[in-house]
Chains A and B, each alone.
Chain A
Amino acid sequence: MGQSLSIHNLEAWYGSNKILKGINMEIRPNQVTAIIGPSGCGKSTFVRCINRMHETLPRTRVRGEISLDGRSIYDLNPVALRKTVGMVFQKANPFPSMSIYDNVVAGLRLNGMKNKQELKASAEKSLRMAALWDEVKDRLNYSGMSLSGGQQQRLCIARALAVEPSVLLMDEPASALDPIATTHIEELIRSLKEIYTIIIVTHNMQQAARIADSTAFFLSGELVEHGPTSEIFTNPHDKRTEDYITGRFG
């Protein structure tokens, strides 16, 4: 099941540059939350804080509180956290030297799973969930790089799903995909929220409107407005949100 996320006064720095300036946000379980905002406003930084990847970069700092179902993420070790909070990146990044199959089970092996039957079952399940199974079931031994961009992206989603996280972070997962692959991914996201809590960063307003239950608008490291998607796109409360979503920004 998806877990809820509670974010309090989250601040993040690159060097002396303060990128997130005190974000407060409640994210409900089994919902799709879209993060929108102009380039450079801190969306990627925000999601990277949630699985504690931001702090792994040099000269970075994080302050504030993030809790998963009421439990601080800083009480978990980062590896365990990243098993619970999966991430899919903007650019599909299959492990280049690995086959399709090995890509999917990489996380499970890392977590110590050795049983061949179990690995196989889990790979199939994840590939099915990522709506990729039918396209690759006859060539699981091919390199992950032999897939098209959209397929690679779904492969990365399958890889993230295999370790059975409860929260899925997606940073512009469909930005490099054609409309058909995008529709696939969007349908996938909609069906995945039954099981996961999903946070998706997107530059595509219509995409946010189509798939997200709630939408958050970030601007210069601040959360301007967070509310039900239907409200954000029909009647936003903040003038800056309205200017942004109607394309009249700046």
Chain B
Amino acid sequence: MRQSLNDGQLILNNLLKDMGQEVERILQGCIKTLKSLDRTQAEYWIAQDQVVNNLERQVDDECVRLIATQQPVAKDLRKIISAMKISTDLERMGDLAIGIAKVVRRIEGPLCKPLIDIPLMAEKALAMMRQGLEAYRTEDMELAQNLALQDDAVDHLYNQIVRDLLVIMSQKPEILDQGMYLTFAGRYLERFADHATNIGENVIYITTAERKDLNK
């Protein structure tokens, strides 16, 4: 029944899965680059932007095709609209990850302290993205709603990073620049997690047709 619509939805699911995997690969690479401050690597990751952008375009094209040829309604329509929005979130997440590689361009090493909390934050943010996509794949409301809690944890970690960096910066004015760029990196990850939470909001919209703000 409605084979072509079902096929299209499968294509969308696979594209979003690919996007998630690419964003994960990029964020992990960018964090590694931040640890090593390797500028050649940084340029490599910055160029990876294209990969995610291309996938986003494919999602858009498939959504437009399905709307034009299948006239989806109700839940079918919500799924397609949500796929479009989720792909926009993932594309932004890719940009934010790459923002970290861009930070590496500007930081004068060596690092004032070993990086612990930022990689930890990245791990948590990535886990949220995976969970959001899993919730989307299985239409699991609980998984989606749970993202709000995890987002609070990431926000908390971010505040802590800012506090710690402020203390170091006030003691060692010579690393002021570095401290500011590391704060940026933390901020990017905090935003990354917000976008992961948006994925959860879309899952709730698909299943209930209601808009819920998980980012409060």
Contacts and interface: CB of A to CB of B under 8 A. Distances in A.
A233 B74 contact: yes
Contacts of B77: 234
A17 interface: no
A242 B2 contact: no
A206 interface: yes
A247 B74 contact: no
A99 B193 CA distance: 73
Contact of A209 (B73, B76, B209): B73
B209 A247 contact: no
A188 interface: no
Interface in B54-80: 71-78
Nearest to B70: A247
A233 B2 CA distance: 17
A234 B205 CA distance: 11
B1 interface: yes
A233 B209 CA distance: 12
B1 A245 contact: no
A248 interface: yes
Contacts, number: 30
A246 B71 contact: no
A37 to B, nearest CB: 15
Contacts of B74: 233-236, 242, 245-246
A9 to B, nearest CB: 29
A206 B71 CA distance: 8
Contacts of A209: 73
23 contacts: A205-B71, A205-B73, A206-B71, A209-B73, A233-B73, A233-B74, A234-B73, A234-B74, A234-B78, A234-B209, A235-B74, A235-B209, A242-B74, A242-B75, A245-B73, A245-B74, A246-B2, A246-B72, A246-B73, A246-B74, A246-B75, A247-B1, A247-B5
Interface of A: 205-206, 209, 233-236, 242, 245-249
Given A234-B74, A235-B209, A249-B1, 11 more contacts: A205-B73, A206-B71, A233-B74, A234-B73, A234-B77, A242-B74, A242-B75, A246-B73, A246-B74, A246-B76, A248-B1
Nearest first, the 3 closest Cβ-Cβ pairs linking A and B are A235-B209, A233-B73, A247-B2
Interface of B: 1-2, 5, 71-78, 209
